[in-house]
Structure formats: structure tokens, C-alpha cells
Amino acid sequence: MTFYTYDYLHQSQSNWQYGRIAVLSVLAVIFILFLIHYLRNRMDIKYKDLSIIVATLLLLVLALQYNDFNSIQSSSKQTGQITQTVKQVANRLHVQPKTISVNSTNVNANLMVKTPRGYFRVDYNSDGSAFVLEKVELDGASKIKVEEAQ
């Protein structure tokens, strides 16, 4: 069973989004530079071709970004929900959120929490607005892997 730390949950989504923004920014700057260079030297056609290639790559990356926008937004929302749950569990158990790990990156019915005080199962009510912590004993606790932020 894999558990994810609070820092891992908090950083996993933001790194990928920043990477995409960086790629888009670099491609936009390269496109502008090639376009300016072509407009200064209209006789040098290689800069026109390079501008077209970079513009095509830029449009492709923008299309992929638009295509993934809903899934990124949904996963960011779920990560926000699970980090809020981790904060609430930490508050109830009087421990730091950084010492808590969960077995899922989104809120689900089988959410397990690993804390310094032991393992707990999170039982949500029917509409998901509140939960109860139930202490559990895990069989095979040696097979547990914890994913931490890097």
C-alpha cells in the first residue's frame, strides 16, 4: 500500500502546471525572436520557416493544454480536498499535517491515514461534508511505502 505525505500532495500538481507554463513561455519567446529576425531580413527565408515550425509547436502545446485543462482543474480540486482533509485530521489528532500520510491522492470511500498515533480510516457521511476517524490495525504493515515530496 502506498501512502502520500502532505508535502507530496501539496507539490505534485503545482510542479506539472509550472512546467507547462514554462514550455509555453519559451516557445512564445522563440517564436517572437524568429519572427522579428525574419521581418528584419525578409530575404532570409530560413527564419520564416523556423517561425512557422515554432508557431506550429506553440499551437500544438496550446491545444494539448486546452485539452488537459479540465482534467488538471479536476485533479487540482481533488488535491485541494484531500489536503483539507489532511489538515482537519491533523487538527483533530493534535499533530502537524506534515506528519500525516494518506493512501490516495483524492477523496474516496476507502481513505486510510497514517499518523504518528497509528493508522486511521476516514468514514465520510453520505454527502461528504463531515467524517469520523476510526482507528485500525493493518495486516502486513511492512509492505507500506511512503511517497514524499522531492
Q: Is the dihedral of CA 57, 63, 64, 66 positive or negative?
A: positive
| Interval 13-53: pLDDT, tens | 556 667 777 888 888 888 888 888 888 887 778 888 888 89
Residue 104 has pLDDT above 60, yes or no: yes
Q: What is the pLDDT of residue 35?
A: 85
Looking at per-residue pLDDT, the higher value among 82 and 120 belongs to 120
Q: What is the pLDDT of residue 95?
A: 92
Q: Can you give the pTM of this predicted structure?
A: 0.59
